């Protein structure tokens, strides 16, 4: 999936999550999970709601020049759209570029290693990564919300911990969204975006035509495609799991098995 596709779908997922979260239980309100700064939508002007070359090119320039300083503003307040930018940054951030060229990094994009790997191996690696990164977000935010004092009061700032948490969750969202790109996986056909097809194959990037892969990544960011809509609601569902788990003080992601079976199910035909 292209950078602007990740950004647009993550923004849409945040809106979907917050629209439900605000109507949920009192526990969410009590801990103000629904209103965490990292869940703010990124306000940016797009040429289109669909992923396209113009928006993608402009976003690359913006991220490189504004967001990816090696030193960064680690202890500054989390700005609007921080989580969305972190999802995009998985493809650009200097320390994460190794994920593109190394075998061990293919799971960050829901793809298969080039050697000694099967579809089942790749699926296990990618889904385990998504789960572990989700658990890291839960662990850090539990520490922030239940052990530290709130920012601005005695006890120290939690901004760095919140940014660490957002970085982990961004990786989980990035890989999850890539699982819906036809350049990354092959799913059984489906029409209902709430019930996506099972994953039949997970591709190896090095074996693909790069132009076709790029076009597939644009296609998966078309706003009205079943793949894009599934990616949005899968991302919103993962955010819901995060919020619910922290609010219930569970170190394990509540409802993970059902989540994986719904959004990341491996076909029985996969090898």
Other residues' Cβ atoms within 10 Å of the Cβ of residue 147: 10
The secondary structure of residue 63, as a DSSP letter, is: I
User: What value does the CA radius of gyration of the chain take, rounded to a whole number of Å?
Assistant: 18
Q: What is the pLDDT of residue 92?
A: 84
Cα–Cα distances (Å) from 267 to 185, 201, 202, in that order, read: 12, 8, 11
Distance of CA 159 to the CA centre of its chain: 20
Residue 235: name the closest of 25, 69, 17 by CA: 17
Q: What is the pLDDT of residue 52?
A: 92
What φ, ψ does residue 234 adopt, rounded to 5°? -65, -40
Q: Parallel, antiparallel, or unpaired for β 199-202 and 185-187?
A: antiparallel
Cα(48)–Cα(222) distance, integer angstroms? 10
Q: Quick check: 51 and 2 in contact, CB under 8 A?
A: yes
Task: Give me the average pLDDT of each 10-residue run along the chain (271 residues).
Answer: 94 91 64 82 88 91 67 63 91 78 91 91 97 97 78 63 93 97 94 93 89 89 91 96 90 96 94 82
Predicted TM-score (pTM) of the model is 0.91
Q: Tell me which residue has tokens 């090119």.
A: 57
The secondary structure of residue 201, as a DSSP letter, is: E
Q: What is the pLDDT of residue 75?
A: 53
28 Cβ contact partners less than 8 Å away, ≥ 6 residues apart: 21, 22, 34, 243, 247
148 Cβ contact partners less than 8 Å away, ≥ 6 residues apart: 155, 156, 158, 161
Q: Quick check: 56 and 4 in contact, CB under 8 A?
A: yes
Q: What is the pLDDT of residue 191?
A: 87
178 Cβ contact partners less than 8 Å away, ≥ 6 residues apart: 1, 109, 110, 111, 184, 185
- Token pair for 117: 């790997």
Using DSSP's 3-state secondary structure scheme, residue 202 falls into: strand
Cα–Cα distances (Å) from 3 to 63, 86, 256, in that order, read: 10, 11, 27
What φ, ψ does residue 218 adopt, rounded to 5°? -65, -45
Cα(77)–Cα(264) distance, integer angstroms? 34
Distance of CA 148 to the CA centre of its chain: 26
Q: Tell me which residue has tokens 């911990």.
A: 161
């Amino acid at each position: 999936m292209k950078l602007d596709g990740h950004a647009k779908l993550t923004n849409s997922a945040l809106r979907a999550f917050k629209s439900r979260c605000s109507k949920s239980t009192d526990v969410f309100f009590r801990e103000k999970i629904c209103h965490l700064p990292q869940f703010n939508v990124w306000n940016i002007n797009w040429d289109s709601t669909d992923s396209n070359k113009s928006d993608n090119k402009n976003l690359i320039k913006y991220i490189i020049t504004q967001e990816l300083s090696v030193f960064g503003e680690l202890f500054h307040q989390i700005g609007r759209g921080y989580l969305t930018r972190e999802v995009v940054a998985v493809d650009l951030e200097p320390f994460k570029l190794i994920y593109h060229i190394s075998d061990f990094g293919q799971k960050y994009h829901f793809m298969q290693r080039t050697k000694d790997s099967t579809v089942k191996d790749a699926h296990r690696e990618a889904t385990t990564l998504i789960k572990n990164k989700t658990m890291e977000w839960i662990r850090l935010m539990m520490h922030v919300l239940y052990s530290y004092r709130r920012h601005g009061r005695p006890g120290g700032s939690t901004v760095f911990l919140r940014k660490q948490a957002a970085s982990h969750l961004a990786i989980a969202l990035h890989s999850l969204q890539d699982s819906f790109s036809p350049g990354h996986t092959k799913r059984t056909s489906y029409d209902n975006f709430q019930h996506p097809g099972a994953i039949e194959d997970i591709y190896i990037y090095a074996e693909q035509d790069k132009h076709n892969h790029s076009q597939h990544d644009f296609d998966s960011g078309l706003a009205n495609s079943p793949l894009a809509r599934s990616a949005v609601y899968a991302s919103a569902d993962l955010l819901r799991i995060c919020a619910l788990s922290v609010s219930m003080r569970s170190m394990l992601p509540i409802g993970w098995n059902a989540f994986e079976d719904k959004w990341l199910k491996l076909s029985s035909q996969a090898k």
